[in-house]
Structure 1
Amino acid sequence: MKWIEISVAIERVVIEEVTTLFDTMSSNGFIEEDVPNEPNWVQITLYGDTSKSTSEWETLIGHELEQAQFNFKHLKAKEVTDTDWYNSWQQYIEPTEILPHLVIRPAWKEYIPKEEDQVITIDSDLSFGTGAHETTQACAELMAKYGTKATTCLDIGTGTGILLLVAHHLGIPKLIGIDIDASAVAQADANCETNAVDAKLICGDLATDFKGTADLILANLTVDPLKMLLPTISEKLDSKGILIISGIIDERYEEIKPFITEHWQVVEEVIKGSWHTLALAHKE
């Protein structure tokens, strides 16, 4: 598979706003690097799919930055292979303490644990599924607070299976992950095997391929699939269960809010960076 690598230099003072903008344009993460001899500038690299050509990506990124009135330079896009992409971001992913004394270790990184550490090893060909993202961390925090008494955890859009492995660490006995992407399911299955965790992985549709209910459901997705899936999720969550949703960026928070408040009670909201994560329960 091929990807489009887009790099651009932006002023350091607007880096948070620019990375928030890029979060809405690519789910594959991005890389921040210093610009040699220019301390006020940062180079951002992100990866898009080949549904757009290199020139179309350059036009799109340039237009978005101009519309937001951000100064930028050295904008260029090129086609790269899976291997190029994998090697470029992989070096920047470090072990992450996702919960106190629970460390997510990328399989390609050496890590010497402290005596009290428990370590989950994750291999991934996606930069999003290694525990470093704010949404993953916020989901883990809410799971530790509201999910420890759950008996069944269902992870929708399981990706690398990282949240299922956290659920196992929290002592939840029955673990189920579902994803529409067969490669993600295979990756999650491999990560469960690496960590000696027993989980059921389903490649398919939530409405038809997951039978029964769960008392803890995780859905770290994005706004569009959340809007579509929330009614179905309601049918899959036990009456006293907890739903944790994430992947809601600031700019789209008001858009999804009515879908939440109409049928759900907000138990708690966590905001990390530009991302909102919510623990929800059925309305009484």
Structure 2
Amino acid sequence: MKWSEISIHTTNEAIEPISNILHEAGASGVVIEDPFELSKERVDRFGEIYQLNPDDYPDEGVIIKAYIPINSFLGETVEEIKDAINNLILFNIDIGKNSVTISEVNEEEWATAWKKYYNPVKISERFTIVPTWEDYTPVSSDELIIELDPGMAFGTGTHPTTVMCVQALERTVKKGDECIDVGTGTGVLSIAAAMLGSSKVTALDLDEVAVHSAILNIKLNKVNDVVSVAQNNLLDGISEQVDIVVANILAEVILRFTDDVAKVVKPGGYFIASGIIGQKKQQVKEAIEQVDFTIQETLVMEDWVAFIARKN
């Protein structure tokens, strides 16, 4: 299949309304090239920050890109997008240059273009995430390397919520511990738990694509003798007790199954909960404490929060 890349040079003020216009036109997502990212200060926690290329960004304003399949209605769709953007002026929204360009992209190129932005990243004291297509030499003898191919599943292992989970696992996993990874995605947390010495890890996800991706990554990292993957809704039907449950999912979902976590985690065991936006911090904290856990540590990265909670 061939795709049409629609590129719109506009302003920061127009990002949200134009993104919404593109979504309504059939784009499943947008790319925003904002020169502010070049000067944005990032915390250098582990000594490696990927350098952005200024040539990929406009001198002023922002560029919003979206991809729409090429079909017989493409011309009409593009005109509707242009009209909708022009109408934003009626709502006193500054649309800036408002230059719209169209180019053709092959599906194979589109599917792999993102890989140039995904490089080895050291995410904790011991772990480095390395994409499967990159060559990487460890810089220390105790460094743990997780090779990852995200495929079509969520996560490259470098999102703040994942990073905090890995750091939490480093602080809690003891040799021989049994763990459950709820919402495993690419399997990165299960792989980390196995590499830290867990004797048994169960990786669960409701998404069939994520399950397939996790199986591949777990085999790639040679921990399939420790980690098993299953398609499952949260902890439904799970009765065995384990030392650690880790869940990197939305706050709303965490609130739904804290009772199940309390049944599954052994006394003295841990619940690592991440994926929590700052506004939901207190609500999730109270829910975890209500099921007989004590919050031992709160991790914060950017706008995200993670809890390390121990069962009383």
Short-chain TM bin? 0.7 to 0.9
One-letter identity of the residue aligned with 2:219: E
Map 1:100-119; keep pairs closer than 5 Å.
100-114=125-139, 116=141, 117-119=143-145
1:240 Cα deviation (Å)? 1.3
Task: Quote the residue 1:94 is aligned against.
Answer: 119
- Name the structure 2 match of 1:185: 211
* Larger strand fraction of residues: 1
Which residue in the other structure is 1:20 paired with?
none
Listed one character per residue, the Cα deviations across residues 198-231 of structure 1 (whole Å, up to 9, x for unaligned) are 2111112344443301111100001121111222
Match in the other structure for 2:310: 281
Contact 2:152 2:213 in 1 (8 A): no
Give the percent of matched residue pairs that are identical in Structure 1 and Structure 2.
Answer: 25
- Is this contact kept in 2: 1:248–1:276, CA < 8 A? yes
Q: Which amino acid aligns with 1:251?
A: Q
Q: Summarize the Cα distance change of 1:227–1:189 in structure 2 as closer, same or farther, 3 Å threshold.
A: same
Aligned counterparts of 1:255 and 1:273: Cα–Cα separation in 2: 19
Superimposed CA distance per residue, residues 169-218 of structure 1 (whole angstroms, 9 cap, x where no aligned partner): 21111111111112211211111111110211111234444330111110
- Aligned-pair CA distance for 1:11: 7.0
Equivalent residue number for residue 191 of structure 2: 165
Amino acid across the alignment from 2:248: N
Residue 250 of structure 2 corresponds to which residue in structure 1? 222
Residues 107-146 of structure 1 mapped to structure 2, 5 A cutoff: 107-114=132-139, 116=141, 117-126=143-152, 128-146=154-172
Partner of 1:253: 281
Q: Name the counterpart of 1:241.
A: 269
Please give the alpha-carbon distance, in whole angstroms, between the structure 2 residues aligned to 1:88 and 1:119.
24
Mapping 1:20-39, distance limit 5 Å: 38-39=58-59
- Match status 1:266 vs 2:291: no
Q: Which amino acid aligns with 1:6?
A: V
Separation in 2, partners of 1:85, 1:281: 44
Pick closer, same or farther for the CA change 1:246–1:73 going to 2, 3 Å.
Answer: farther
Looking at structure 2, the residues matched to 96 and 115 of structure 1 have their Cα atoms a distance apart, in angstroms, of 14
* Conserved? CA contact 1:6–1:75, under 8 Å: no
Q: Deviations for 1:102-136, whole angstroms, at most 9, x for unmatched residues?
A: 32111122223335233221111247422211111
RMSD (Å) for aligned C-alpha atoms: 4.0
Looking at structure 2, the residues matched to 174 and 72 of structure 1 have their Cα atoms a distance apart, in angstroms, of: 56
Aligned residues: 259
Q: Distance in 1 between matches of 2:304 and 2:94?
A: 21
Measured in 2, the distance between the counterparts of 1:237 and 1:72 equals 55
Q: Which runs of 5+ in 1 are unaligned?
A: 17-31, 48-52
After superposition, the Cα gap between the structure-2 partners of 1:39 and 1:96, relative to the gap in structure 1 and judged at 3 Å, is: same
**Distance in 2 between residues matched to 1:73 and 1:122, nearest whole Å:** 40
| Separation (CA, whole Å) in 1 of partners of 2:219 and 2:132 | 13
SS of residue in 1 equivalent to 2:204: strand
Q: Greater Rg, structure 1 or structure 2? A: 2
Report the counterpart of residue 19 of structure 1 in structure 2.
none
Q: What SS does the aligned partner of 1:129 have?
A: coil
